[in-house]
Amino acid sequence: MDNIIEIKRLSHIYRETDRGIKNISFAVKTGEFIIVAGQNGSGKSTLFRHLNGLLSPTSGDVWIHGKAVSANLAFARQIVGMIFQDADCQIVGQTVFEDAAFGPENLGLSGKEIQKRTTGALKQLGLLHLKDQNPSTLSGGEKRRLAIAGVLTMRPEVIVLDEPFSNLDYQGTQELLSSIIWLHRAGHTIILSTHDLEKALFHASRVIIIHEGRVAADDNPMAIIKEVEKFGIREPCSSKFGMGIVPWSS
Ligand SMILES: Nc1ncnc2c1ncn2[C@@H]1O[C@H](COP(=O)(O)OP(=O)(O)O)[C@@H](O)[C@H]1O
Ligand SMILES: [Mg+2]
């Protein structure tokens, strides 16, 4: 299988704190579902901000389909759709529809195409019935799915989600998780970060542990599960109790 993303000896050190990420290398293949796990401050968001060129490396580089991100920003952003840690800040429209249509409108697509993409994305995220509502009236989970819908209208191959489950209630988490699983089945490559493996681990094909800015482990979920606690990540209960890795909710 082809590598979509290649991260090569990537380092980013913030001058103010002398912290960041150090010498990170891995490649992402089409169709993978990768969890990037690490405790707070380990470097997950810093790593993700390099995947579409929001940050520039101190050294090393990220390649997308063989092109350096730093020299091909527009291309990188078309391939990699990013849902930020604080997805509520990604909301820009007066209505749910307007918000999701923002990307295709900026691309200068025809009205018909904007309509098609936006309606399709809202439908896929289960938000079409809310299309005329003001985004501020949505629940936390709905807001996060709206951010995904906005990204989806741009038809990205890879969807990157930074701590998507933070501060969501049970229902919001469940619906968001279903949407992410659906996106993966629909052919998107998924990369998501979390400090809590419980929710998505069952669905992941690979886990990369970031610890103090470096890749501490990179393997399939079963191979990694007993190792996570030494990196400050809680082992899922099912695994602790000898039941292996099970879906978070049924
Ligand atoms: N804008 C910034 N300026 C200075 N230091 C930062 C900045 N953003 C993050 N850091 C530091 O870099 C390290 C990694 O942070 P971050 O990538 O946000 O980790 P995570 O997303 O895993 O919580 C932390 O030590 C953090 O304090
Ligand atoms: Mg973060």
The reply to whether ligand 1 has any atom less than 6 angstroms from the CB of 45 is yes
> Pocket of ligand 1, candidates 44, 45, 46, 191: which has the most ligand atoms within 8 Å of its Cβ, to mutate?
46
- Residue 234 falls inside a structural domain: yes
pLDDT of 140-168, one tens digit each? 999 999 999 999 999 999 999 999 999 99
Q: Separation of 242 CA from ligand 2 center, angstroms? A: 30
Judged against a pLDDT cut of 70, whether residue 1 lies above it is answered with no
Pure H helices in 66-225: 73-79, 96-106, 111-124, 140-152, 170-185, 221-224
| Rounded CA separation 146/138 (Å) | 9
The closest ligand to the CA of 18 turns out to be 1
Tens digit of each residue's pLDDT (9 = 90 or more) over 116-127: 999 999 999 999
Q: How many domains does the chain have?
A: 1
Q: What is the mean pLDDT of the chain?
A: 94
What pLDDT shows up at residue 85? 83
pLDDT tens-digit map of 193-225: 998 899 999 999 999 999 999 999 999 999 999
Residue 250 has a pLDDT of: 59
Has residue 97 been placed in a domain? no
Say if 87 falls within a structural domain: yes
Specify if 23 maps to a domain. yes
- Give the residue among 98, 90, 88 at the shortest CA–CA distance from 54: 90
Structural domain of residue 56, as residue ranges?
A: 3-91+157-240
Does some domain include residue 119? no
CATH number for the domain spanning 54: value is: 3.40.50.300
Residue 124 covered by a domain: no
Q: What is the pLDDT of residue 75?
A: 95
